[in-house]
Structure 1
């Protein structure tokens, strides 16, 4: 099978650093012009992001402390897949329940993206959850500080327009939904 002339050849691969949630991978590569160099990237399990609508059309959002930017961030439920997830929808349902205490009547796939493929192998699967109702308490991980609340969809879009929502996953989910799915009757 022919190889794309832009492809790099991986000569060696090592885990340079590992911690809960991700690894930093160091690869020795040969570039198309024959140059040999190193390339480092972040490797992590696939993730899910959920745009959860209540029966009234409001969105279940989370406010979460984000240490990397030293502030509370308005966003959507997001989490990594785990080995015991039956499928991506199961992971989305689990994360929605854990982070918000809500369960959905049904979920639909929205889009899958590679949000930072210049320095990470991350893959994020977005879902729209319909008929979300509070059914339990949050079950947060030890390092999560999250407050759940419902917000009107139009209010979220206005916050997006004003630049008040800065979380990239939330920006992408709201924008993609508004551009492609909202008019399709979802």
Structure 2
């Protein structure tokens, strides 16, 4: 059964494609019968990892973000490749971006962060007992520093407006509210 709020897609085409995302143009019919154009950013599914060391510190990355022209402090994150499952992607991205590997990885939540204009899906994981046992294996367009900090420091940065990355903000706050087990 179709929801009476659903739009009917009449046509769909990729208007622009680049590494990382596409822009999709659609012709749609609205519930009242009117026809309209709708564009959205298509980037697929990603993972975001809250990596914890045995001492309870959080492994974070610092990476240049060209769109905002500054270094961004964030949780490791990245796209799911092919038919890779999200947990495997979380383990891979953690090792590639930080050089850390986890003893255990647990799903926290899955969200659609901007579903008014993007089809992005973020799968959040907590990675426990992370240790620097791997080599970073960065993509050609990545330059990343790895650091460790406390969850309290990240929460203070979130409160003070110093934690600007949306994926990281959601991960840190979700973990604080629902993910802690100690």
Instruction: Give the TM-score of the pair, scaled to structure 1.
Output: 0.95
Matching residue of 1:40? 39
Equivalents in 1 of 2:134, 2:90: separation in Å? 16
For 1:119-134, list aligned pairs within 5 A.
Answer: 119-134=117-132
Report deviation, 1:90: 0.5
Equivalents in 1 of 2:108, 2:75: separation in Å? 14
Report deviation, 1:136: 2.0
Matching residue of 1:147? 145
Which residues of structure 2 form unaligned runs of 5+? none
Is residue 31 from structure 1 mapped to residue 25 from structure 2 by the alignment?
A: no
Q: Can you list the C-alpha shifts for 1:42-62, whole angstroms capped at 9, x where unaligned?
A: 111200000000000000000
Secondary structure at the residue paired with 1:83? Answer: coil
Matching residue of 2:95? 97
Matching residue of 1:112? 110
Report deviation, 1:137: 2.0
For 1:1-186, list aligned pairs within 5 A.
Answer: 1=1, 3-83=2-82, 85=84, 87-182=85-180, 185=181
Equivalents in 1 of 2:134, 2:30: separation in Å? 52
Secondary structure at the residue paired with 2:134? Answer: coil
Structure 1 residue runs of 4+, over 3 Å off? none
Q: Can you list the C-alpha shifts for 1:85-105, whole angstroms capped at 9, x where unaligned?
A: 2x1110000000000000000
Equivalents in 2 of 1:73, 1:21: separation in Å? 18
Equivalent pairs, count = 182
Which residues of structure 1 form unaligned runs of 5+? none
Equivalents in 2 of 1:33, 1:169: separation in Å? 35
